[in-house]
Structures are given as C-alpha cells and as structure tokens.
Amino acid sequence: MTNNLDNKMREALFEYLLRLGDDRLILGHRLSEWCGHAPILEEDIALGNIALDLIGQSSAYLSLAAEVENKNRTEDDLSYFRNEYEFKNLQLVEQPNIDFAYTIARQYFFDVYEGLFLEELAKSKFEQLAGIAEKSIKENKYHTRHSKHWVLRLGDGTEESRNKIQTAINDLWRFTGEFFEETEVDEILKEKNFAPDLKLLKQKWNEIINSTFEEATLSIPESKDFATGGRNGIHTEHLGHLLAEMQIVARSFPGAKW
Amino acid sequence: MSTENDSQGKLWEVFTQSKQGAPHEHAGNVHATDAEMALQNARDVYSRRGEAISIWVVPSDQIVATSPSDEDPFFDPSNNKAYRHPQFYSTPKGVRGF
C-alpha cells in the first residue's frame, strides 16, 4: 500500500508516523528509567512491562515510517540517528520522571488520550495504520487501568500522596493542550480518512479526566496556557539529555550487533 | 507473619488458572496495598506471557494453614490399620487406563 502514494501524501504520512512512533519511544524510554528504582519490586515490573509495550508500538510505527519514506532507512536509524529537532513527540512524554506521582500523572494523561485516539485510528483507511492501532488497543486498556488506579490511590490516599499527585498534575497540565493540536499534516491525512480528527477527542478526554479526578478528590488546574512545539521539533530542555543516553551506544558503535 | 504493613504493602497469595476447567493453582505471592493492585501485580508477575486465563488473589493472612508442629498427628495416615485403605478391591479392567 506504500507503493502508490504521491509525494505530498508520502511526506505527510512519514511525518505523521514519526509523531506516533516518537511519542511512544520517548515515553517508553522514560518509563524504562524506573527499572531497578520503582517503589516496590512489583511496580518495577509493571512499569517495565508498560515501557516494553510502548517501545514495541513505536517500533511498529517507525518501521512503517521507514517503509513510507523509502530512503533505505530502518526503524533503528530513525530512533538512534535523528537529532532533537527531528523528533516530533509531544512535550509531555519527554518530561522527567521526578517522582512516582509525576510519572503516574504523565502516564494517565497520555493513556486516556491514547485510548480515545486508538479507537479512531483503528478506523483509518490506511490499512497498516489501522492494524497497528487495533493491536495496541488491548495494551492501552491495561495501561489505563494501571495508571487510573494509581491516580485514585494517590489522590484519595494520605495527605502527602494527595499533595504529590496534585503538584504533578498542576505542573504537567500545560503539556496536555498539545494532544489536540493539528497541523497541515493532519489536514492532508484527514482528507483521505487516514487520520482521526483530534479536535473531536478533546471533550471526551476532559470528561474522563474530570470524572477520575473527582473520584480521586483532585482538582483540575484552571490555567489555559498550554505549551506547544513538539510536533514541529521544538522541545523542552529535557529531550536532549534523554536522547544522549538513549542514543550513545548506537552512535559510538554504529552497526554493532549483540 | 507480621500483620504490620511495611512500605511494600500487604502480602497476597496468587492462584492462576491455565485453561478453562483446570483448577486454580498456587503460583506465588505479591505485595500490594489493595485488591486491585494485587490483581494487577499478579498479572504482571505471573501471567505476563499469557500463562493464565483467570487469577485469584487472597490476602496471605486470610489463609488458614497447618503448622509444622502438626506434622505427626495431623498427617499420620494410620498405616497400621490396613482396613482404612482400599487395597482389597480389585480394579475392573475398564478403568485400568485411569
């Protein structure tokens, strides 16, 4: 199906697949930083499992991106040999772990969005994209169950746990506007019913977040100032450090096998 | 076993069922602060690769168990009383296969 794309569509699709791949690659890498550091052994395994799911999904999107680009690059080239400004992930997913509450708040925001997004992406007329979405839906259900229950537990827990998750929510809230931003790329893909309309997801996302926060006795920040730029390769200072660590082995020993 | 919660939460015993109709078998245990977390942790630790189709978790302190000192009187099968064992019945041919 990637053979008969015209150039404009090929470029738009490549860009779109980078976004999807990068979101999951960067978030998966962030979660993997918990390996050996989580509060208890069982949670260590849970975060590791979710990280692996996300990196697996990113691998599917990026190898499709490489195929669409058709310039002899592989998913590994795309992961390890692009620079910061070439990454198209949301700024939310590159935010540092800081503590367990930040990690959970970041994850829950993303998981709820991902659930709504995948449901729509599974209807894509670009079959390979719909296929990846279909496969990820099951994994996302588990991820959301995990992060949602932690939001409830921390919010409706002790005073300390409530303060920690509320602080994390307040700090990360400004990165949630990017979920629903569209660019020209979305317009090109929407015309062919390849990509969902992100604006339609916003209300549902807010409803779900509201109802969980209410149950968890947490409040939604009132600020309407949202960060932007990730989709254009503009990032916070945290992405560069993450990439340095993620890419150093592949760049120091190009083509190494183990 | 201490009933005090340490920082890891309570201990829960995990039972997994590998296929429909099979018994739930003891798989091990996990730490968790509530039932939902216990189920999720059990899923991650004991069924990550699809080993189970159903999971039970039970708070470890809710399990009533024998103690090692019970060993002799509790488990002695009274081998000296031959009439307690059904070895005088011959097994019909039809059921030999079992």
Identify whether the C-beta of residue A17 lies closer than 8 Å to the C-beta of residue A4: no
Q: B5 pLDDT exceeds 70? A: no
At A86-114, the pLDDT tens digits run 999 999 999 999 999 999 999 999 999 99
- Supply the pLDDT for residue A231: 96
pTM (whole model) above 0.80: yes
Residues of B in contact with A46 (CB under 8 A): 40-41, 44
Q: What is the mean pLDDT of residues B65-83?
A: 75
- Amino acid at site A129: L
Mutation target to probe the A interface, by most A beta carbons within 10 A, among B36, B47, B49, B57 is: B36
- Supply the pLDDT for residue A39: 86
- Angstroms from A103 CA to nearest CA on chain B: 17
Nearest-by-Cβ selection for B44 from A39, A49, A149: A49
Residues of B in contact with A35 (CB under 8 A): none
Rounded Cα–Cα distance for residues A47 and A49 (Å): 5
Segment (H or E) for A165 = helix A159-172
* Domains annotated on chain A, with CATH: 2-252 (1.20.1260.10)
Query: CB within 8 A of A168, min separation 6: which ones?
Result: A98, A99, A101, A102, A104, A105, A106
Segment (H or E) for B25 = strand B25-32
Query: CB within 8 A of A220, min separation 6: which ones?
Result: A169, A173, A209, A210, A213
Closest chain A CA to residue B41: A42
- Supply the pLDDT for residue B2: 45
Here the ipTM equals 0.73
Rounded Cα–Cα distance for residues A107 and A90 (Å): 13
Q: B1 pLDDT exceeds 50? A: no
